[in-house]
Amino acid sequence: MSNVDLKGVSRWYGNVVAVNDVTMSLGQGVTGLLGPNGAGKTTLLHMMAGFLAPSRGSVTLDGVPTWANPAIYRKLGLVSEREAAHGFLSGWEFVHASAKLHGLADPRAKAKRALELVEMTDAQDRRLSTYSKGMRQRIRVAAALVHDPAVLLLDEPFNGMDPRQRMHMMSLLHDLGARGRTVLFSSHILEEVEQVSGTVQVIVAGRLAASGDFRTIRRLMTHRPHVFAIQSDDDRRLAVALMESPSVAGVWLGTDGVTVHAGDYGTFTRELPRIALARGIRVRRLIPSDESLESVFSYLVTA
Amino acid sequence: MNTTIAWITARGLFGRRRFLLLLPLPLILVGMAWLGSSIGHADDFAGPVLVGIGVAVVLPLIALIVGTGVLGSEIDDGTIVHILTKPVPRWKIVLSKLVVAFGVSAVVVAAAMFAAGAITDGVRFGLAFAAAAAVGALAYSALFLALSLLTRRPVLLGLLYVTIWEGLLGNFVSGTKVLSVQQYVVSLADRLAASDLVTGSVSVPVAAIMSTVFTVVGTWFAINRLRLFSVAGETS
């Protein structure tokens, strides 16, 4: 088991402050690093992974600074956001080369195990350049996992994955966390984080806005209802039906559809199809109109 | 030196289309030497062909394509991160890249130089140019490797060095010749060939010492830059 510790970490580029005085400690289990685009998640991850020196403060892995210290990669795996990979190598060559570069005792067996973990054995002999985005993402995860690192950092790992791949990756991360690994993944999608991990670190505009158990933070946000715009073949009847649901706090009937204020995102989205189906109403459009995490987060910061 | 890194580097080099640019240049060199020998006298074309085309164009261009291809392109597309997230000492990474860059450019250039030189004035002349070109390939490779870590546009900067510094200033301002790999190669070839067909303008000790300096300083610089290699934050 390994810990990543950040103490008073700031990073600026010229006049722009990307990360501002962040202190956090990551232990075993899965942690979600949540924040809107441009909040500084990638900068933070790069500092943890030793690819960027903090302008101020310290980033350590088990007490050892990560910056300019290649030895940390014995314990750390990184899946960066840029989906770059050596396209001319086959999946097997790519992962096997990673195992060899780590100086592992039995690189073949380790590469095989990593490929099985991400379910890429079938495609392992194809070149990376022929892979889909999700496959490339998985092969990069395999390469980062090949030495069974105590700490795994992933930057937007679910980008470009289809729902099935997404589910599989989520359960993979979950298992790693359950087996005592320290897993940190970044995402700007609240629901992704909610499904994989209980613990989150929320970054807004370079600052740590909230940290801890997701549900606790979420409860803080509930007096800010979720807003959905819905269009159906019978808006008025739908509005009446929705008002009966306890998950709905308010309904507004307009000329081009129904605007719903729901107290809880998950409950409402599960409820809506059930209600519509029972009344025989056809829902044509469902748009979450204040999904912008920016607003939720800025609310968090000012709270 | 790490064989896995060298293997990936070589695969990357040969897998890129840019690598095809390597083929016509040596052919032009050998073709010109053959053309010269069939219609003229060695005194007239040895200098223009072997130095003017071989040392001044073919050698630096091939060294530039290969030297920036082994590391610069990996930095460019971000794949370098896969190499850097391994517990491999940075000097091993740089040396592996240097060995591949030097090996490929030296083999390609030396073979062409040998053929062109042998056609011009016999085997010894060819061997002299092949050996001198190999020394030049090493110095150039280290230089372009260092440039790959100094700037995001190593090809451009390398071209500027070859064309402006070596090509243009080298002909007018004699002092610049001391910092010109091209001049070292000519001097070394001149000395090894023991022929009057070409004459170097820097002394042989200077050429030998400065080639070593280019190689060592370039490599040392590259290692240090790679040790402190930063990946910038959100670039998009």
Reported as a single tens digit per residue, the pLDDT across A91-105 is 999 999 999 999 999
Q: Which residue reads 């993402």 in tokens?
A: A137
Smallest CA–CA distance, residue B92 to chain A, in Å, is 11
List the single residue in B81, B83, B227 with the smallest CB-CB distance to A68: B227
Give domain limits for chain A. 4-220, 222-302
- pLDDT given at position A216: 67
Q: Which of B13, B85, B94 to mutate to test the interface with A (most CBs of A within 10 A)?
A: B85
Residue-wise pLDDT for B49-89, tens only, equals 999 999 999 999 999 999 999 999 899 888 999 999 999 99
| Contact criterion met (CB < 8 Å) for A97 and B8 | yes
Q: What is the CATH number of domain A4-220?
A: 3.40.50.300
User: How many other CB atoms sit within 10 Å of the CB of residue B175?
Assistant: 8
- Please indicate whether, in this complex, the C-beta atoms of B231 and A51 are within 8 angstroms of each other: yes
CA A78 to each of CA A34, A85, A185: distance values in angstroms, whole numbers, following the listed order: 17, 13, 10
Residue A291 has pLDDT above 60, yes or no: no
pLDDT digits (tens, 9 = 90+) for B82-115: 999 999 999 999 999 999 999 999 999 999 999 9
Query: In A, which residues are within 8 Å of B7 by CB distance?
Result: 97
Dihedral of alpha carbons B150, B152, B158, B163, sign: negative
Report the C-alpha gap between A149 and A76 in whole angstroms. 5
| Residue owning tokens 């892979």 | A131
Fold held by A222-302: Alpha-Beta Plaits (3.30.70)
Pairing of the two strands A248-254 and A199-204:
unpaired
Interface of B with A in 170-229 (CB under 8 A): 227-229
Q: Pick B79's closest partner by Cβ from A68, A74, A86.
A: A86
Least confident among A86-90, A299-303, B12-16, B79-83: A299-303
**Would you say residue B167 has pLDDT above 90?**
no
Question: With an 8 Å Cβ cutoff, is B85 touching chain A?
Answer: yes
B233 reaches A (C-beta below 8 A): yes
The per-residue pLDDT for A224 is 65
Confirm or reject contact between B39 and chain A (CB < 8 A). Answer: no
pLDDT, residue A19, reads 94
Mean per-residue pLDDT, A162-177: 91
Give the containing element (helix H, strand E) for B146.
helix B90-150
**Residue A221's pLDDT band (cuts 50, 70, 90):** low
- Reduced to 3 states (helix: H, G, I; strand: E, B; else coil), residue A264 is coil
Question: What's residue B180's pLDDT?
Answer: 93
User: Is there a contact between A86 and B230 if contact means CB atoms under 8 Å apart?
Assistant: no
Q: Reply yes or no on whether the pLDDT at B210 is more than 70.
A: yes
Q: Specify the pTM.
A: 0.83
Grade residue A223 by pLDDT with cuts at 50, 70 and 90: low
Query: ipTM for the complex?
Result: 0.88
| Minimal-distance CA residue of chain B relative to A52 | B230
Q: Does B2 touch chain A (CB under 8 A)?
A: yes
Confidence of residue B234 (pLDDT cuts 50, 70, 90): very low
Answer whether A18 sits within 8 Å of B233, measured CB to CB: yes
Mean pLDDT of chain A: 88
Percentage of residues in chain A having pLDDT higher than 70: 91
